[in-house]
Amino acid sequence: MGELKVLIDEKTLQDKIQELAETIMKDYEGKELTFICILKGSALFTVDLAKKIKNNVRFEFIRVSSYGDSTESSGKVTMKLDLQDSIEGRDVIIIEDIIDTGRTLSYLRDYLKDKNPASLKICTLLDKKERRIFDIEPDYTAFNIPDKFVVGYGLDDKENLRNLPYVGYYDI
Ligand code: IMP
Ligand code: MG
């Protein structure tokens, strides 16, 4: 692994999240929201986005895993932590850290649709569009990024570096 470089600095991240928050507030005027934070990667993004939103935001947490120890997809999505409360009739936004192949979100979208929310949208911090295999199109995207392995701001390298306030990558 080479040197850790900055891909998206802290100010650029926070400015874009503010913009996203304003768009979401317009789209959901007068409505209560439920954010489903996909652990662990989306924890920081979910919190920062929710703090910038004036609507009441309820939190749910889900943990799934589709990757083993490596960074390659093992192909199967398994539920590790399920919803705590019902989302029936609620306006739900799935908050994801990154969409890569789309496998995780295509599984989650179908799983959550079955719980009969009033509406279901997808908000992602990062999108690696060129890696897509599954048919997933997010409703809100903070940043489209090239096909690089990124870390920080929630994203890990074998559980490390999640607490970086910026998104970085290894220059090889
Ligand atoms: P997908 O199911 O292939 O779309 O993968 C999504 C999940 O893979 C994300 O929620 C991340 O946990 C992980 N992931 C994909 N790309 C990266 C990366 O560049 N850095 C860290 N984690 C990643
Ligand atoms: Mg991960």
Q: Tell me: the pLDDT tens digits for 47-91?
A: 999 999 999 999 999 999 875 544 555 578 999 999 999 999 999
Q: Which of 100, 133, 153, 161 to mutate to test the pocket of ligand 1 (most atoms within 8 A of CB)?
A: 100
Q: Considering only 55-69, 78-92, 112-126, 144-158, which range has the smallest mean pLDDT?
A: 55-69
111 token code pair: 């799983």
How many residues comprise the chain? 172
Instruction: Report which bound ligand comes closest to the CA of 66.
Output: 1
pLDDT of residue 50: 98
Is 100 in the active site? yes
Give the list of residues 6+ apart from residue 82 with CB closer than 8 angstroms, or none.
62
Q: Considering only 33-47, 72-86, 107-121, which range has the smallest mean pLDDT?
A: 72-86
Q: Considering only CA atoms, which of 96, 97, 100 is closest in space to residue 72?
A: 100
- Ligand 1: list residues with CB < 6 Å: 41, 66-67, 73, 97-104, 149-150, 155
CA distances, 146 to each of 28, 71, 73 (Å): 31, 16, 18
27, 100, 110, 135: which one is catalytic? 100
pLDDT of residue 45: 98
